[in-house]
Amino acid sequence: MEFISFLRYTGNTTYLFLFSFIRSDNKDTRPQRVQADKLAAISELWSMFLHNAQGAMIPGPFLTVDERLAAYRGRCRFIQYMPTKPAKYGIKLWMCCDADTKYVYNASICCGKENTKEATCLCNLGGKVVRQLLEPLHCEGRNITTDNYFTSLGLARDLIKAKKATLVGTIRTNRVELPKEFAAPAGRELYSSLIGFNETSDSSLVSYKCKKNKVVVVLSTMHLSDITFGKEPKKLPEVINLYNMTKG
């Protein structure tokens, strides 16, 4: 796209004339296909891109699943407004990337609610997205890092069982599986940590008080024994250090 913009700027009329005739989709059959696929205009091209991306590299031991807003203000039925993002308006993508190289291994374009059934299951959407993005990858021995939109105990156990992959992710303090003591900052010293291990020995929880009235809770299926801490004064737990290194 940068090359095309450059050609427009330099006034290369010949290239622009030829480019205006390039099509990636059959407009005659698009109205029928768009009823079932909102990405009908580019779905074939998008599938080719993902196929090439997945065949060009084998990801490392640490993967990150997150969202990204591609800035766009043109005509599109599924443009989203996200006030916390720099662009605010654009097309949201779910992405699975190699944590070390930032290489995009798999991605999915968020086209909004597909049906009424999905609208009632938004609480499970994060887990569904992670499972779909990891589907083409052999994940055994790898760790998946997610933020609190995706992380849940159900997803963590699912990844261990189906993919033999561990998960490290922040978890929302209103999750039903989270003990109340881990979500409350009251009565705790600043930079203190509360650590818990599951009865079934398949996961651990770390609640770290990072500010006066705020705690960060991290769920891990990778750290199942003693957890070490960083240097004073913040004494960051090993789990949070790993999350910070692989989330960016």
Query: Is 181 within the bounds of a domain?
Result: yes
* Residue span of the structural domain in which 185 resides: 139-248
Last residue of a domain, one of 112, 137, 162: 137
Is there a single domain that holds both residue 151 and residue 206? yes
pTM, entire model: 0.84
d(CA 147, CA 169): 5
d(CA 192, CA 209): 6
Classify residue 117 by burial, with Cβ atoms within 10 Å: 0-12, 13-18, 19+. Answer: exposed
Question: Total structural domains in the chain?
Answer: 2
pLDDT for residue 115: 55
Last residue of a domain, one of 69, 104, 137: 137
d(CA 203, CA 65): 19
Is there a single domain that holds both residue 154 and residue 232? yes
pLDDT for residue 195: 94
Is there a single domain that holds both residue 198 and residue 103? no
Is there a single domain that holds both residue 171 and residue 130? no
Is there a single domain that holds both residue 124 and residue 48? yes
Is there a single domain that holds both residue 206 and residue 101? no
Query: Is 7 within the bounds of a domain?
Result: no
Is there a single domain that holds both residue 96 and residue 172? no
Is there a single domain that holds both residue 209 and residue 130? no
How do residues 103-158 score in pLDDT, each as one tens digit?
A: 999 999 998 776 545 444 545 889 999 999 999 999 999 999 999 999 999 999 99
Is there a single domain that holds both residue 133 and residue 221? no
Query: Is 19 within the bounds of a domain?
Result: no
Across the range 211-234, mean pLDDT stands at: 91
Is there a single domain that holds both residue 83 and residue 147? no
How do residues 162-200 score in pLDDT, each as one tens digit?
A: 999 999 999 999 888 899 999 999 999 999 999 999 888
Nearest to 246 by CA among 154, 178, 170, 164: 170
Last residue of a domain, one of 100, 117, 137: 137
d(CA 78, CA 142): 33
* Cα–chain center distance at 22: 33
Nearest to 148 by CA among 68, 245, 243: 243
* Residue pair 88/81 in contact by the 8 Å Cβ criterion: yes
pLDDT for residue 119: 44
Query: Is 22 within the bounds of a domain?
Result: no
Is there a single domain that holds both residue 229 and residue 148? yes
Query: Is 192 within the bounds of a domain?
Result: yes
Across the range 201-226, mean pLDDT stands at: 93
Query: Is 78 within the bounds of a domain?
Result: yes
Query: Is 24 within the bounds of a domain?
Result: no
Is there a single domain that holds both residue 143 and residue 245? yes
